[in-house]
């Protein structure tokens, strides 16, 4: 594989880290890919492979008339591992249709394509701008903010039936979460929560079935114990 130090920005020619989302000099957007002939690491947009010298056919993003839900700049259509995305050149946010988002969640190769791309910087939630609800690029209605997988900590904007908008770095974070077994942990947590609720309801039914005993002896220790337990379970 090509030495990472030999990679240069295809826009200005400056040396650039293959993990960088943008050139540190001209701020051009960078995407690390593999040469189709020798599979050496290179930047998308380079005219030649830095290792084998093969000429690379340029594939420019297709312009779109869709505005970014976050900053209102124009989105561009790109293809990543067979997945069609709308990406913002200004804020690096990404719009993904429902079917393609489900494919990233279910297909290992699609996730690998996401992880192979440099991770754009994401804002610290404590330092970022105030939370704003954003419009769906399809229907224009305000999207819901959802913690992906309930436990990932990555909050994305979702319009059910149309797709999701992810801020810079969030697509990479979700792919990493899934690859590390995050969805399995989320499913197990959901099962545990359902089991806890089942036990709670079963205990409440048992208490209710014995209520007539407590009502027959309202001042007894048994009646007071039943009453205290009912209050405790309802407060949880």
For every one of its 236 residues, what pLDDT tens digit does the chain have, with 9 covering 90 and above?
A: 444 445 888 888 888 877 777 788 888 877 666 565 565 666 766 777 777 777 665 555 667 788 999 999 999 888 776 788 898 888 889 999 999 999 888 888 778 777 766 666 554 544 455 788 999 999 999 999 999 988 889 999 999 989 999 998 899 899 889 888 888 887 787 788 888 888 888 877 776 666 655 555 555 565 556 566 666 655 55
- Global pTM? 0.59
Q: Looking at the structure, do residues 145 and 90 belong to the same domain, yes or no?
A: yes
Number of domains forming the structure of the chain: 3
102, 163 in Cβ contact below 8 A?
Answer: no
Q: Looking at the structure, do residues 38 and 69 belong to the same domain, yes or no?
A: no
64, 77 in Cβ contact below 8 A?
Answer: yes
Q: Looking at the structure, do residues 212 and 124 belong to the same domain, yes or no?
A: no
């Amino acid at each position: 594989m090509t030495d990472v130090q030999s990679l240069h920005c295809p826009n200005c020619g400056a040396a650039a880290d293959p993990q960088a989302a943008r050139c540190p000099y001209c701020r051009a957007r960078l995407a690390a890919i593999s040469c189709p002939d020798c599979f050496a690491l290179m930047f998308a947009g380079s005219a030649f492979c830095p290792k084998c010298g093969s000429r690379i056919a340029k594939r420019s993003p297709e312009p779109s008339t869709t505005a970014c839900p976050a900053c209102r700049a124009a989105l561009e259509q790109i293809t990543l591992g067979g997945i069609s995305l709308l990406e913002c050149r200004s804020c690096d946010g990404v719009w993904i249709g429902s079917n393609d988002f489900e494919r990233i969640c279910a297909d290992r190769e699609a996730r690998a394509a996401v992880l192979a791309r440099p991770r754009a910087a994401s804002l610290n939630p404590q330092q970022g701008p105030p939370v704003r609800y954003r419009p769906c690029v399809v229907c224009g209605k305000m999207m819901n903010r959802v913690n992906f997988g309930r436990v990932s900590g990555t909050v994305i904007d979702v319009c059910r039936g149309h797709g999701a908008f992810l801020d810079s770095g969030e697509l990479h974070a979700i792919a990493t979460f899934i690859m590390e077994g995050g969805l399995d942990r989320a499913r197990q947590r959901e099962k545990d929560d359902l089991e806890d609720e089942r036990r709670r309801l079963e205990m409440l039914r048992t208490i209710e079935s014995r209520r007539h005993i407590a009502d027959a002896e309202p001042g007894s220790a048994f009646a007071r114990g039943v009453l205290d337990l009912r209050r405790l379970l309802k407060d949880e």
